Structure 1
Amino acid sequence: MALHDEKHEWGATRVRDTFLDYFKERGHTFVPSSSVVPLSDPTLLFTNAGMNQYKAIFLGTVDPASDFAQLKRAVNSQKCIRAGGKHNDLDDVGKDSYHHTFFEMLGNWSFGDYFKKEAIQYSWELLTKVYGIDPKRLYVTFFEGSEGLDPDLEAKELWKDVGVPEDHILPGDMKDNFWEMGDQGPCGPCSEIHYDLRQPEGENYRNAASLVNQDDPEVIEIWNNVFIQYNREPDKSLRPLPNKHVDTGMGFERLVCVLQGKKSNYDTDVFTPLFKRIQEITGARDYRGKFGKDDPDGIDTAYRVVADHVRTLSFAIADGGVPNNVGRGYVVRRVLRRGARYARKYFETDIGDFFSKIVPSLVEQMGDMFPEIKKKEADIKEILDEEEKSFAKSLDRGEVMFEKYAQKAKVKGSNDLPGDDVWRLYDTYGFPVDLTKLMAEERSLNINDKEVEEAQERAREASKGDKKAGAVLVKLDVHDLGALENMKDVPKTDDSPKYGRENITAVIKAIYHNKKFLTSTKEVPEGEQFGVLLDRTNFYAEQGGQEYDTGRLLVDDEAEISIENVQVYAGYVLHTGYLKYGELSVGSEVIAEYDELRRHPIRSNHTGTHVLNYALREVLGNEVDQKGSLVAPEKLRFDFSHKSGLSDADLAKIEQICTEYIRQNSEVFAKDVPLATAREIRGVRAVFGETYPDPVRVVSVGVPVEDLLTDVKNPQWEKVSVEFCGGTHVKQTGEIKELVILEESGIAKGIRRIVAVTGQDAYDVQRQASEFEEQLARVEKMKYSPEKEAEAKKMQVDLNQLTISALTKNQFRDRFAKIQKSILDEQKAAAKADNKRVMDIVTNHFTKNEEARFFVEKVEWSSNVTKAINEAIKSVSGPKSALREKSVYLFSANQDDGKVVHGCYVSEHFKAQGADGPKWASSVTGIVGGKAGGKPGAPTAVGQGTNAHKIDEGIEEARKWIENFQV
């Protein structure tokens, strides 16, 4: 029976459910896994442990109005990625039986509830009684102490209490038994549970204590109980937390391995369904579970790498971690390229849509537990295909170059691959350095990291020089064009390949620098910008509102020109940029490689512009005319004629029509049509005053252009987006994903402008809106307090800076205005209540003590207390006041910031004895600090101090002072 056909008593799903149910039955709340991409926590590349989402609870900063504030016990299975940053297992994946870049962390938590005793009892009972794991094969560790921290002898004794023999309880150092989430954050001593995978011979159990934490593949850690007691501060010191917590994490894949009696996580039904699918796609031999030298053809290793990486990629992308060149996006890209290279080399399969074929099997296997991958399946597949295709363009050539560099090193008798060569493999062919290291390892070659960094720094410095030199774009003028017309061997550029999606080969026809046409790049001064004309190009030159492509022209390992701008002049397409290395001449045949990852969002935004144009006419009428547009990678901008601003209802309708068009996944058709015929097509959209070529390119969304031409006057074409356009477009509207309008404004009389985003950028603004909405909802629920006021002030700044849907932003502004009004109303009510509270204290005192001539008192602090004291002093001293013959001194203090407020009134009785308000107030300012105001001789005075800790001394002094004037 094939490995993937085996059935187990402890199937993966049952293992997970059993864990969750055990803790639910013991009062733990199930909390769904948080995103594997912690978008709101810049200290983490990826969620690398189950406790990440509870960080605010551990730190005591959790919002008291949130569900988490009431959480005492929790259980879940958290998605984790360890492929970058502090915790990085990428290099080990495939080489052993238990490392993964993506894994599930089964965990149970206590937040200031139970601690070490219960956690240890739960662990032991679940493993040995519920799962039935042989206790004689389990080993536990405890923290041995370090850095002035005592050993965790309490945990050691608790393990003895549940029945673990002393020779199975082992001390561990800071590395193994003190858990930290990152360079800063909650942390504490931990107690691990390890399992010996080797079967005993009858009753002859070996003692594997010496193999614990020694990277022995047969003695693996399965569970870690972390006792959170400290926070690692930015200065690296440890600060005790206000409450003690339990944070446990058990490797789901390792637990399944133990329960299914396997030696490797990859032999379990966590991975075998993926192996089965990989085999179906590639036609490779069965997975045999071999490692290292026992896997000479590398196919078993490739199975493990691909299965692991498709899990990481799918969950990262589903949670918003899209591949790019920065931070976590670059980690995702590295993982994909590493996996693609394994597939290409070991399975000998084409890449471009390889990973996306495995995704449905993963969704079927894990989509019920993690519904986000089911919901985002289409997006995951599309992004994987896009990235793979981009890498596929240079993978073969990069592998050839690697072999060339490897041979060069061997010829020199060296086992070192030069840093310049490693950097070039990244810079030109997109090989992440760790992928090159992997390939070098296969050839027994070494890479010097310092050399690579130096090569990278040299390239960066050269690039800085380029940018400085390139302040003014190289352009062709009328004289240059006249010269070109006379150069019979320089034809106008054939740019028809720009509508394709592949690299092409082209011939250099001219090199242009400093108003001269040259024969070789050797004639261009180092670091200066120049232009290149080719016989044909796949680069898009800036026109029709669409931005230019960037990319490179190169002869592999001989020369490379970095192309940073492309413009067209009377049919001549000029590629401008800088020589990176080598030399090229007129007549050189080069590979023309535009940057697909820049072109891709431009295509989405351009087709999105057509869809938007159609929606505008549907909502606002046929009098809407296009007045200009910009199609860039990060946004689209569309200017149109309309007399007035668009209402929220208009914007909502426009977005709805765009969404419907995109959701239909309509095919985008394009065809050159005689201009006279094209103009006759019913509903065709063209820019008024624009000069179009004949024939003109007609782009139709959803209906083939041939169908339009069979009956050009058909009124149905009014319901189709049809435009004259020379730009690049998606193949189907589904590639656009979403269209979100960010801004609608007037730019001139009768001219409006819409700015919008599509694709991943649209998803990002929707996510930002969703995150802000959560904050908004939280503040809406908050009761009036200084914290609510502070949150609202911060939120107003954030809302103004937020880049989100214009419609949503308007809705947020309406909701925020209600919050502000409620705060204002609550402030007024609170101020009124405070005024009454303070005045009632004064009134009640004299009601109970009618004979008393003065009253000195401290009142409770509040945000309105200054005004409340002032109002009370005014009321007592007023001409119609019943208390006018009483003298009053009121104090209040805020011990948190040291602030003191005070105010007094001196009655005529005491004034007659020589007292007044300013004198009385000055008697206490020397104690409470600050100053007091009031005209000399006036009956009243108010002041503010800075010594809140001396408030009682100040009150005593005020009482003694007035008593001296009592007759």
Structure 2
Amino acid sequence: MEKLGLNEIRKLFREFYVSKGHYAAPSASLIPKNDKSLLIINSGMAPLKPYFSGQETPPSKRMTTCQKCIRTGDIDNVGLTSRHGTFFEMLGNFSFGDYFKKESLTWGMEFVLDVLKMPIDKIWVTVYKDDDQAYEIWKSLGIPEEHIVRLGKEDNFWEIGLGPCGPDSEMFFDRGPEYGSPDDDFVQGCEHDRYIEFWNHVFTQFSKEEDGTYTDLAHPNIDTGMGLERLACIMQGVDSIFDIDTIRHILDSVSSLCGKAYEDGDEKADVSMRIITDHLRSMVFMIADGIVPSNEGRGYVLRRLIRRAARHGKMLGIDGAFLADLADKVIEVSGDAYPEIVEKQDYIKKIISVEEKQFAATLGQGEAIIGEYLEEMKKAGVTQLSGDKAFKLYDTYGFPLELTEEILAEHEFSADRDGFDTAMAAQKKKSREGRQDTSEVAWEENWTPEDVPETVFTGYDHYEDDATLLFLSGESRDAEQALEGEDVILYLDKTPFYAESGGQVSDKGIMTTEDGEVEIFAVEKTRGVFAHKGRVTRGAINKGDSIHCAIDRIRRNKTARNHTATHLLQQALRDVLGNHVEQAGSLNNDKELRFDFNHYEAMKPEEIARVEEIVNEKICSFLPVTTVETTIDEAQKMGAMALFGEKYGDVVRVVSCGDWSVELCGGTHVSNIGQIGAFKIASESGVASGVRRIVALTGTGILEAAHAAESVIADVAETMKSKPHLIQGKATSLMEDLKAARKELEEFKKEAMGSELDDMISSAKAFGEVNLITREFEDYNIGDLRGLSDDIKARCKSTMMVFATVNGGKVTMLVSLTDDLTEKGLHAGKMIKQIAACVGGGGGGKADMAQAGGKNPAGISDAFKVAEELLS
């Protein structure tokens, strides 16, 4: 049996199934498309579910893929064993109602014997106990009967609830008696890892009904899955995925960086090296597919992986940030198969660096806090960290709960997960308070009549058109007539009205018949059928009427202008920031354009200015905007940018602005980019971790904004008793006067505090060897109180100060102790919690100084009494 590298195995598998008439589809994104049941793609068939269910038509009835996958359930086990990993690749061949068992098993055997050169005496297979057909096929392919094992439903029947299901057949490789007792039967041998399952052929031939019975599917399917890493272990004669050629390349780089040899007797170091190696693979592919670190969903998984790997690097003694540099090792071994990680190499490394840097800033603090918690639990005799404290580590120091649990487990402690969830829910509830529900009730039911054909859209070339009213939904879903004042939904054979999609809002306008008129204010599209939503404003309309459709052309032109500008903006952003920029959302209407894109930091002013400059240069070049309909393959050859993760049909529409910006797009556009007029960025902001948003204006939208700005300037000039062109100088003069006044006030305040210093020290109350100074101030800030405290400490020993100041009805308190008192065990941070309770507040701090806030100025005298009681 020839020793084959992982990349070579992948290539051989693809070429073999292409030779059998299969369409070799690229790996789908790790982000599921239109599948809320999955957080991240975790199997080869997961992206193909719409094809198996019949919701979508596959590009071919025969397909083969090598799908990148991540399984989050294995994160806690990664590193502890030598075989668990989060990232893996799944080879598969699929038939959608084409071939079935005989072809699937025959080709599987051919690939194993003729391509991989596995000896047939090493091959074992399992079949479902009642699947005589699969049993006989294996016999005909040369598998001895003693190597064919019948198993029950738990092992060899695939089903998930109701619907398509069927038996499956698994292929195993016998690694020899040295991996188990020669007397073991097959099942025992599997438990001892003598027999390694590497390929599963699922025969989806039944449908499970509600009464528990099984009916035959009219078109049976084939779904196979073979783990690439597991197959590589077999072909390379190694026991661990971390010894496979490509993965070992990464691990050796980790080993070299930390200066520790792998499997050299230090098991803790081995665990850390395996964790870093595996997590590096996952983070590279996740970021390349558009996932960015965050506190929710798949972004939380990525954050957890990066931070876990960073911590284990520190445990190995690696100084400073290191993950971004090691990411190059992943790209070196996987870049040929997945060019997207090469194209986005700089972006991937930047995201890792930013996240690692953020975590490094709090890692030491967080670990120190956990250390304090561990000591407290040991003294209290408890073994579980409270949910509130676990949540504080998450909320304040960025420690994923699982990372906190991992650190606690290293000391044989645990965390209260239920309490953590309660604290998380309380925070979310608080953040939701005060929000208004802005969802619209009208038209919320998503319903489309089944017998209405797809609507022909004529709006690319026409502002007006004549159509036939095929279906009318008014007071009843299938109405014959609607009268003045009624809300209606109209379904036509053709329409010039654009339906909301691709970030572009729908058209508005008027439809008229011989007897009536309808104002259209929204258009939606489902399965190619346009639903025109509006209100009858005159007369009556009837099902079957000839109807004249006229869109609001000024609104359409403004919207088209903004949509074309969005294309220019995206290309300019890629030119200025890098090719990692991809659309994460957009909105184009007649007022403005909004564009969300992947980027790891706020844009610099000079970057914003350069993007504006590029777009306006292109507008002034008067490049033509052309559209063409073609196949997705031809579009990609043209260099067209596609919306990430989007699935496209057989025919796509390519919109080109000269030869500079080329995108797949179904929206409406200007015919020449000079018609945009001008482009101005109104704002740039962050909307999520790793996602930025630009809001921009074009054409007369800029003029409207300029008029609004002029009005504001005029109002400011009037308030400042100046003229508009002189307000800058006037504002500068006023700020200088204000600065001088504040400086003079500070000097008066310092002089006043200085005169009070002797008085405060002399009026201190003695409590044993400790002197207590209490004083209330008006309109002092916390800096003033600290400065006063420092002055007293410079002159006194054995002194405790409790200061309070009131600003705008709110209380700020300071407790400060001289160093000799903290050495005796007094702690300002602990004392202030009891003192500040009197003013309805709380706080904390260090042993020598702490501060707190409150809302009850009337309680200040009581707070001073509490301070006296503490010293008494």
TM, length-normalised to structure 2: 0.51
The one of 110, 125, 128 equivalent to 1:143 is: 128
The structure-2 alpha-carbon separation of the partners of 1:41 and 1:240, relative to structure 1 and needing over 3 Å to count, comes to: farther
Report the equivalent of 1:154. Answer: 133
Report the equivalent of 2:70. Answer: 81
The structure-2 alpha-carbon separation of the partners of 1:397 and 1:172, relative to structure 1 and needing over 3 Å to count, comes to: farther
Looking at structure 2, the residues matched to 242 and 154 of structure 1 have their Cα atoms a distance apart, in angstroms, of: 18
Shift of 1:111: 2.4
Report the equivalent of 2:205. Answer: 229
Report the equivalent of 2:688. Answer: none
Q: Structure 2 matches for 1:615-764, cutoff 5 A?
A: 656=568, 659-660=571-572, 663-664=575-576, 742-743=587-588, 745=590, 755-760=594-599
Contact 2:88–2:228, Cα closer than 8 Å, also in 1: yes
Q: Percent identity?
A: 32
Contact 1:652–1:807, Cα closer than 8 Å, also in 2: no
Q: Structure 2 matches for 1:101-120, cutoff 5 A?
A: 101-120=86-105
Shift of 1:189: 2.3
The one of 290, 293, 300 equivalent to 1:320 is: 290
Looking at structure 2, the residues matched to 35 and 385 of structure 1 have their Cα atoms a distance apart, in angstroms, of: 23
Looking at structure 2, the residues matched to 237 and 90 of structure 1 have their Cα atoms a distance apart, in angstroms, of: 38
Looking at structure 2, the residues matched to 35 and 346 of structure 1 have their Cα atoms a distance apart, in angstroms, of: 33
Report the equivalent of 1:55. Answer: 49
Contact 1:208–1:219, Cα closer than 8 Å, also in 2: no
Looking at structure 2, the residues matched to 416 and 770 of structure 1 have their Cα atoms a distance apart, in angstroms, of: 44
The structure-2 alpha-carbon separation of the partners of 1:286 and 1:809, relative to structure 1 and needing over 3 Å to count, comes to: closer
Shift of 1:104: 0.9
Report the equivalent of 2:187. Answer: 210
Residue type at the aligned position of 2:61: K
The one of 1, 7, 11 equivalent to 1:13 is: 7
Residue type at the aligned position of 1:75: T
Report the equivalent of 1:41. Answer: 35
Report the equivalent of 1:26. Answer: 20
Counterpart of 2:36 in 1: which secondary structure?
coil
Looking at structure 2, the residues matched to 167 and 411 of structure 1 have their Cα atoms a distance apart, in angstroms, of: 62
How many residue pairs were aligned?
508
Report the equivalent of 1:193. Answer: 171
Shift of 1:305: 1.6
Is residue 285 from structure 1 mapped to residue 260 from structure 2 by the alignment? yes
Looking at structure 1, the residues matched to 559 and 429 of structure 2 have their Cα atoms a distance apart, in angstroms, of: 46
The structure-2 alpha-carbon separation of the partners of 1:240 and 1:432, relative to structure 1 and needing over 3 Å to count, comes to: farther
Q: Structure 2 matches for 1:420-439, cutoff 5 A?
A: 420-439=388-407
Residues 276-323 of structure 1 show CA distances to partners (whole Å, capped at 9, x for unaligned) of 33234x2332323x8xxx643x22222222121111111122122222
Looking at structure 2, the residues matched to 177 and 432 of structure 1 have their Cα atoms a distance apart, in angstroms, of: 38
Shift of 1:758: 4.1
The one of 151, 172, 177 equivalent to 2:156 is: 177
Q: Structure 2 matches for 1:822-901, cutoff 5 A?
A: none
Is residue 378 from structure 1 mapped to residue 342 from structure 2 by the alignment? no
Is residue 774 from structure 1 mapped to residue 640 from structure 2 by the alignment? no
Looking at structure 2, the residues matched to 387 and 744 of structure 1 have their Cα atoms a distance apart, in angstroms, of: 35
Shift of 1:117: 2.5
Residue type at the aligned position of 1:192: E
Residue type at the aligned position of 2:429: K
Looking at structure 2, the residues matched to 470 and 28 of structure 1 have their Cα atoms a distance apart, in angstroms, of: 52
Report the equivalent of 1:358. Answer: 326
Residue type at the aligned position of 2:312: Y
Looking at structure 2, the residues matched to 435 and 261 of structure 1 have their Cα atoms a distance apart, in angstroms, of: 34
Contact 1:323–1:333, Cα closer than 8 Å, also in 2: yes
Unpaired stretches in structure 2, ≥5 consecutive residues: 437-555, 603-639, 655-660, 671-872
Shift of 1:249: 0.9
Q: Structure 2 matches for 1:268-307, cutoff 5 A?
A: 268-280=244-256, 282-288=257-263, 295-296=266-267, 298-307=268-277
The one of 122, 128, 132 equivalent to 2:107 is: 122
Looking at structure 1, the residues matched to 30 and 181 of structure 2 have their Cα atoms a distance apart, in angstroms, of: 43
Contact 2:126–2:171, Cα closer than 8 Å, also in 1: yes
Counterpart of 2:172 in 1: which secondary structure?
strand
Looking at structure 2, the residues matched to 773 and 225 of structure 1 have their Cα atoms a distance apart, in angstroms, of: 27
Report the equivalent of 2:429. Answer: 464
Residues 596-623 of structure 1 show CA distances to partners (whole Å, capped at 9, x for unaligned) of xxxxxxxxxxxxxxxxxxxxxxxxxxxx
Contact 1:120–1:159, Cα closer than 8 Å, also in 2: yes
The structure-2 alpha-carbon separation of the partners of 1:400 and 1:157, relative to structure 1 and needing over 3 Å to count, comes to: farther
Contact 1:97–1:217, Cα closer than 8 Å, also in 2: no
Shift of 1:217: 4.9
Looking at structure 2, the residues matched to 301 and 60 of structure 1 have their Cα atoms a distance apart, in angstroms, of: 45
The structure-2 alpha-carbon separation of the partners of 1:81 and 1:650, relative to structure 1 and needing over 3 Å to count, comes to: closer
The one of 411, 417, 422 equivalent to 1:452 is: 417
Residues 434-483 of structure 1 show CA distances to partners (whole Å, capped at 9, x for unaligned) of 22332233223344xxx422342245236635765999xxxxxxxxxxxx
Shift of 1:253: 0.8
Q: CA RMSD in A?
A: 4.3
Shift of 1:268: 1.4
Report the equivalent of 1:387. Answer: 355
The one of 259, 268, 288 equivalent to 2:235 is: 259
Looking at structure 2, the residues matched to 810 and 364 of structure 1 have their Cα atoms a distance apart, in angstroms, of: 34
Looking at structure 1, the residues matched to 108 and 665 of structure 2 have their Cα atoms a distance apart, in angstroms, of: 51
Contact 2:641–2:664, Cα closer than 8 Å, also in 1: no
The structure-2 alpha-carbon separation of the partners of 1:227 and 1:410, relative to structure 1 and needing over 3 Å to count, comes to: farther
Residues 629-677 of structure 1 show CA distances to partners (whole Å, capped at 9, x for unaligned) of xxxxxxxxxxxxxxx9979679757964785476345xxxxxxxxxxxx
Shift of 1:739: 11
Looking at structure 1, the residues matched to 64 and 334 of structure 2 have their Cα atoms a distance apart, in angstroms, of: 18
Residue type at the aligned position of 2:157: F
Q: Structure 2 matches for 1:543-554, cutoff 5 A?
A: none
Counterpart of 1:49 in 2: which secondary structure?
coil
Report the equivalent of 2:747. Answer: none
Looking at structure 1, the residues matched to 143 and 327 of structure 2 have their Cα atoms a distance apart, in angstroms, of: 43
The structure-2 alpha-carbon separation of the partners of 1:394 and 1:169, relative to structure 1 and needing over 3 Å to count, comes to: farther
Contact 1:74–1:109, Cα closer than 8 Å, also in 2: yes
Is residue 397 from structure 1 mapped to residue 309 from structure 2 by the alignment? no
Shift of 1:269: 0.6
Residue type at the aligned position of 2:66: S
Residue type at the aligned position of 2:343: K
Contact 1:36–1:47, Cα closer than 8 Å, also in 2: yes
Shift of 1:740: 8.9
The structure-2 alpha-carbon separation of the partners of 1:418 and 1:235, relative to structure 1 and needing over 3 Å to count, comes to: farther
Contact 1:200–1:206, Cα closer than 8 Å, also in 2: no
Is residue 440 from structure 1 mapped to residue 408 from structure 2 by the alignment? yes
Residues 553-592 of structure 1 show CA distances to partners (whole Å, capped at 9, x for unaligned) of xxxxxxxxxxxxxxxxxxxxxxxxxxxxxxxxxxxxxxxx
Report the equivalent of 2:685. Answer: none
Contact 1:116–1:227, Cα closer than 8 Å, also in 2: yes
Contact 2:162–2:209, Cα closer than 8 Å, also in 1: yes
Looking at structure 2, the residues matched to 350 and 435 of structure 1 have their Cα atoms a distance apart, in angstroms, of: 19
Looking at structure 2, the residues matched to 36 and 422 of structure 1 have their Cα atoms a distance apart, in angstroms, of: 30
Residue type at the aligned position of 2:148: I
Shift of 1:18: 2.0
TM, length-normalised to structure 1: 0.47
Shift of 1:74: 2.2
Contact 1:740–1:762, Cα closer than 8 Å, also in 2: no
Counterpart of 1:193 in 2: which secondary structure?
strand
Instruction: Compare CA radii of gyration and give the structure with the larger one.
Output: 1
Counterpart of 1:245 in 2: which secondary structure?
strand
